[in-house]
Amino acid sequence: MNADTADILRKQLIKDMEVEDGLMLKLVEAIPEEQVTWRPAAEKVFRTNELAHHAVAAASFFLRTIDGTGDRTEALVMTPRDKAALVKSVREIQSHFRKRATSYTPEQLAQKYDFFGDQMAGIEMLRWHKMHMVHHRAQLALYLRLMGAKVPGTYGPSGDD
Protein backbone atom coordinates (compact mmCIF):
# COMPACT_ATOMS: atom_id res chain seq x y z
CA MET A 1 0.00 0.00 0.00
CA ASN A 2 1.30 3.46 -0.78
CA ALA A 3 1.10 6.50 1.50
CA ASP A 4 -1.52 8.31 -0.62
CA THR A 5 -3.91 5.36 -0.45
CA ALA A 6 -3.32 4.99 3.28
CA ASP A 7 -4.14 8.68 3.78
CA ILE A 8 -7.38 8.40 1.78
CA LEU A 9 -8.41 5.35 3.82
CA ARG A 10 -7.59 7.19 7.06
CA LYS A 11 -9.87 10.09 6.14
CA GLN A 12 -12.69 7.65 5.45
CA LEU A 13 -12.00 5.77 8.67
CA ILE A 14 -12.23 8.97 10.73
CA LYS A 15 -15.64 9.74 9.17
CA ASP A 16 -16.77 6.16 9.77
CA MET A 17 -15.61 6.24 13.39
CA GLU A 18 -17.58 9.38 14.12
CA VAL A 19 -20.71 7.41 13.17
CA GLU A 20 -19.66 4.09 14.72
CA ASP A 21 -18.57 5.74 17.97
CA GLY A 22 -21.92 7.50 18.24
CA LEU A 23 -23.75 4.21 17.77
CA MET A 24 -21.57 2.51 20.39
CA LEU A 25 -22.22 5.33 22.82
CA LYS A 26 -25.97 4.99 22.23
CA LEU A 27 -25.84 1.37 23.35
CA VAL A 28 -23.65 2.14 26.37
CA GLU A 29 -26.08 4.88 27.43
CA ALA A 30 -28.94 2.34 27.13
CA ILE A 31 -27.45 0.09 29.82
CA PRO A 32 -29.66 0.31 32.92
CA GLU A 33 -27.66 1.64 35.87
CA GLU A 34 -28.60 -1.33 38.05
CA GLN A 35 -27.38 -3.79 35.40
CA VAL A 36 -24.00 -2.29 34.50
CA THR A 37 -22.17 -5.38 35.82
CA TRP A 38 -24.76 -7.95 34.62
CA ARG A 39 -23.65 -10.89 32.50
CA PRO A 40 -25.65 -13.61 30.76
CA ALA A 41 -23.66 -16.55 32.16
CA ALA A 42 -21.49 -17.24 35.17
CA GLU A 43 -18.36 -18.11 33.21
CA LYS A 44 -16.43 -17.25 30.06
CA VAL A 45 -18.28 -14.04 29.23
CA PHE A 46 -17.68 -10.39 29.96
CA ARG A 47 -19.89 -8.43 32.31
CA THR A 48 -21.80 -5.69 30.49
CA ASN A 49 -19.39 -2.94 31.58
CA GLU A 50 -16.39 -5.08 30.68
CA LEU A 51 -17.76 -5.84 27.22
CA ALA A 52 -18.58 -2.21 26.45
CA HIS A 53 -15.23 -0.99 27.75
CA HIS A 54 -13.26 -3.69 25.96
CA ALA A 55 -14.96 -2.85 22.67
CA VAL A 56 -13.51 0.66 22.70
CA ALA A 57 -10.41 0.29 24.91
CA ALA A 58 -8.94 -2.32 22.56
CA ALA A 59 -8.10 0.71 20.42
CA SER A 60 -4.97 0.99 22.57
CA PHE A 61 -3.72 -2.32 21.16
CA PHE A 62 -3.88 -1.01 17.60
CA LEU A 63 -2.41 2.39 18.48
CA ARG A 64 0.43 0.89 20.51
CA THR A 65 1.24 -1.47 17.65
CA ILE A 66 1.74 1.47 15.29
CA ASP A 67 3.50 3.53 17.96
CA GLY A 68 5.76 0.63 18.92
CA THR A 69 5.25 1.53 22.57
CA GLY A 70 4.36 -0.32 25.71
CA ASP A 71 2.52 -3.55 26.19
CA ARG A 72 0.04 -3.85 23.34
CA THR A 73 -2.38 -5.78 25.56
CA GLU A 74 -2.48 -3.13 28.30
CA ALA A 75 -5.84 -1.34 28.60
CA LEU A 76 -5.90 2.44 28.77
CA VAL A 77 -7.78 2.46 32.07
CA MET A 78 -9.47 0.05 34.44
CA THR A 79 -13.03 -0.92 33.53
CA PRO A 80 -15.49 1.50 35.18
CA ARG A 81 -18.08 -0.16 37.39
CA ASP A 82 -20.79 2.49 37.25
CA LYS A 83 -22.64 3.85 34.25
CA ALA A 84 -21.54 7.48 34.45
CA ALA A 85 -17.87 6.51 34.64
CA LEU A 86 -18.34 3.99 31.83
CA VAL A 87 -19.94 6.57 29.52
CA LYS A 88 -17.19 9.08 30.34
CA SER A 89 -14.44 6.54 29.70
CA VAL A 90 -15.98 5.42 26.40
CA ARG A 91 -16.16 9.02 25.19
CA GLU A 92 -12.56 9.72 26.19
CA ILE A 93 -11.19 6.59 24.54
CA GLN A 94 -13.15 7.23 21.35
CA SER A 95 -11.84 10.79 21.16
CA HIS A 96 -8.28 9.63 21.86
CA PHE A 97 -8.43 7.05 19.07
CA ARG A 98 -9.67 9.55 16.47
CA LYS A 99 -7.04 12.13 17.49
CA ARG A 100 -4.20 9.59 17.34
CA ALA A 101 -5.42 8.16 14.02
CA THR A 102 -5.45 11.69 12.61
CA SER A 103 -1.91 12.37 13.86
CA TYR A 104 -0.15 9.55 12.01
CA THR A 105 1.74 10.37 8.84
CA PRO A 106 0.61 8.69 5.63
CA GLU A 107 3.94 6.84 5.66
CA GLN A 108 3.24 5.42 9.15
CA LEU A 109 -0.16 4.27 7.95
CA ALA A 110 1.32 2.58 4.86
CA GLN A 111 4.11 0.88 6.85
CA LYS A 112 3.67 -2.82 7.69
CA TYR A 113 3.27 -3.96 11.31
CA ASP A 114 3.06 -7.36 12.93
CA PHE A 115 -0.51 -8.48 13.60
CA PHE A 116 -0.37 -11.90 15.25
CA GLY A 117 2.27 -13.09 12.78
CA ASP A 118 0.79 -11.40 9.71
CA GLN A 119 2.12 -8.19 8.22
CA MET A 120 -0.51 -5.47 7.97
CA ALA A 121 -0.38 -1.79 6.97
CA GLY A 122 -1.00 0.65 9.82
CA ILE A 123 -4.27 1.85 8.31
CA GLU A 124 -5.45 -1.75 8.11
CA MET A 125 -4.65 -2.12 11.81
CA LEU A 126 -6.78 0.93 12.59
CA ARG A 127 -9.61 -0.43 10.45
CA TRP A 128 -9.45 -3.65 12.51
CA HIS A 129 -10.34 -1.57 15.55
CA LYS A 130 -13.55 -0.49 13.82
CA MET A 131 -14.50 -4.08 12.94
CA HIS A 132 -13.62 -5.29 16.43
CA MET A 133 -15.77 -2.59 18.02
CA VAL A 134 -18.74 -3.29 15.75
CA HIS A 135 -18.48 -7.00 16.60
CA HIS A 136 -18.65 -6.29 20.33
CA ARG A 137 -21.36 -3.64 19.87
CA ALA A 138 -23.57 -6.37 18.43
CA GLN A 139 -22.87 -8.47 21.51
CA LEU A 140 -23.78 -5.52 23.71
CA ALA A 141 -27.10 -5.16 21.87
CA LEU A 142 -27.82 -8.82 22.62
CA TYR A 143 -26.91 -8.28 26.28
CA LEU A 144 -29.39 -5.40 26.43
CA ARG A 145 -32.12 -7.59 24.93
CA LEU A 146 -31.36 -10.49 27.30
CA MET A 147 -31.46 -8.25 30.39
CA GLY A 148 -34.82 -6.83 29.29
CA ALA A 149 -33.53 -3.35 28.48
CA LYS A 150 -34.58 -1.38 25.43
CA VAL A 151 -32.22 -1.77 22.49
CA PRO A 152 -31.65 1.44 20.52
CA GLY A 153 -31.45 1.22 16.76
CA THR A 154 -28.08 1.36 15.10
CA TYR A 155 -28.13 1.12 11.30
CA GLY A 156 -31.89 1.51 11.38
CA PRO A 157 -34.67 1.33 13.96
CA SER A 158 -34.79 -1.53 16.44
CA GLY A 159 -37.93 -3.29 17.61
CA ASP A 160 -37.91 -0.92 20.58
CA ASP A 161 -37.79 2.29 18.50
Cα distances (angstroms) measured from residue 16 to each of 10, 20, 98: 10, 6, 10
Quote the CA–CA distance of 24 and 134 in Å, as a whole number.
Answer: 8
Bridge partners for 119 per DSSP: 114
> Where are the chain's structural domains?
3-146
* In CATH, 3-146 is 1.20.120.450: yes
3-state secondary structure of 144: helix
What pLDDT, on a 0 to 100 scale, did the predictor assign at position 115? 86
What pLDDT, on a 0 to 100 scale, did the predictor assign at position 61? 87
What pLDDT, on a 0 to 100 scale, did the predictor assign at position 73? 54
3-state secondary structure of 112: strand
What pLDDT, on a 0 to 100 scale, did the predictor assign at position 74? 53
3-state secondary structure of 38: coil
What pLDDT, on a 0 to 100 scale, did the predictor assign at position 44? 87
pTM: predicted TM-score of the whole model, two decimal places: 0.91
Closest to 127 measured CA to CA, from 4, 2, 20: 20
3-state secondary structure of 107: helix
* pLDDT tens for the chain, residues 1 to 161: 999 999 999 999 999 999 999 999 999 999 999 999 999 998 889 999 999 999 999 998 899 889 988 665 555 457 898 999 999 999 999 999 999 999 999 999 999 999 889 999 999 999 999 999 999 999 999 999 999 999 999 999 999 99
Supply the DSSP symbol for 19: H
